[in-house]
Amino acid sequence: MLGWLAGLPIILVTFIMSSFCWLCTSIGASFVLFCQKISPKYMSAMLSFAGGVMIASSFFSLILPALEYCKDSQIQKSFFVVGGFILGGIFIVLSSLFFEKKLYKFKNKKIETLKRNILLSTAITLHNIPEGMAIGVALGSIAVLGDFSMFIPAIMLAVGIGIQNIPEGTSVSLPLFRDGVNAKKSFLVGVLSGIVEPIFACFACIFSIYVAPVLPLFLAFSAGAMMIVATTELIPESISHNKILSVFFVTLGFAIMSFLDIVFT
């Protein structure tokens, strides 16, 4: 398999591996199709699980790689990683205010449901953009530098990202289903949240020499967005229904996501 991939043009390898990541997101989103009837307590547990997954992803999948891309540059770490994280949080706060203003005609409960669904989907989609770019930069730099010793690590990076995309796809579709969106639409939103991965992976591969320096900013921005959604939307909602269950599933989601990120990336 690796020999076959190594014989292909780098841009095609990038498309194949990033599409694999998209497929994994779709597999995770497909779990909602098998949920015929879910109790409110179970779905609240899934909200907190999604929150734990997003917090772990913010750190292990985004912040740590951003710091690694900065290498020893303290200026990049300060402005790109810290600044990007803050900008991501501000983006979600402003988006929340924007959606509240646009959805004022609905009843209060409807506003909160719609807003949470939009913010959750937006945060996961934003998260998939820099992950796709990371794959593109890793593979594109091989062609730019001519160093094929990095081919297998780049492939394993894509495999790792794909595996940890499975619970992320679930964390999009199940909360939507809980809030009244039918299973097919919830699945479709989960699938679409991952389509940006191959698009931006191929873009980053082609322009890797230009994208690589600012990739930490995109990674940190997505981390800030995901962290705010998890801590202000998902976890508070789950705690309001069952505090003990929420704490357990936040911990479980964080632990599973951390394990996948540590082992496969």
pLDDT for 20-35, tens place per residue?
Answer: 999 999 998 998 888 7
- Say what the pLDDT of residue 110 is: 60
- Does residue 6 sit within a domain? no
Backbone angles phi, psi at 107, to 5 degrees: -65, 160
Q: How many separate domains does the chain show?
A: 1
DSSP letter for 214, please: G
Lowest-confidence pick of 134-138, 183-187, 231-235: 231-235
Task: Give yes or no for residue 17 having a pLDDT over 90.
Answer: yes
Backbone angles phi, psi at 3, to 5 degrees: -65, -40
Note whether 211 and 137 are within 8 A (CB).
Answer: yes
What confidence category does residue 198 fall into, taking pLDDT thresholds of 50, 70 and 90? very high
- Does residue 151 sit within a domain? yes
- Does residue 230 sit within a domain? yes
- The structure tokens listed for 217 are 């900013």
- Does residue 35 sit within a domain? no
Task: Give yes or no for residue 67 having a pLDDT over 70.
Answer: yes
Length of the chain: 265
> Coil, strand or helix: which one is 104?
coil
Closest CA to 158 of 32, 24, 8: 24
Note whether 47 and 215 are within 8 A (CB).
Answer: no
SS3 of the chain: helix, strand, coil, percent, to 5: 90, 0, 10
Task: Give yes or no for residue 188 having a pLDDT over 90.
Answer: yes
- Say what the pLDDT of residue 53 is: 83
- Does residue 3 sit within a domain? no
- Does residue 36 sit within a domain? no
- Say what the pLDDT of residue 191 is: 93
Note whether 33 and 235 are within 8 A (CB).
Answer: no
Domain encompassing residue 21: 11-28+41-264
- Does residue 22 sit within a domain? yes
What's the chain's average pLDDT? Answer: 81
- Say what the pLDDT of residue 16 is: 94
Cα distance between residue 164 and residue 191, in whole Å? 15
Residue with tokens 């873009």: 203
- Does residue 194 sit within a domain? yes
Lowest-confidence pick of 17-21, 88-92, 110-114, 244-248: 110-114
Q: What is the DSSP string of 27-53?
A: HHHHGGGG-S---HHHHHHHHHHHHHH
- Average pLDDT for 176-201: 88
Task: Give yes or no for residue 112 having a pLDDT over 70.
Answer: no
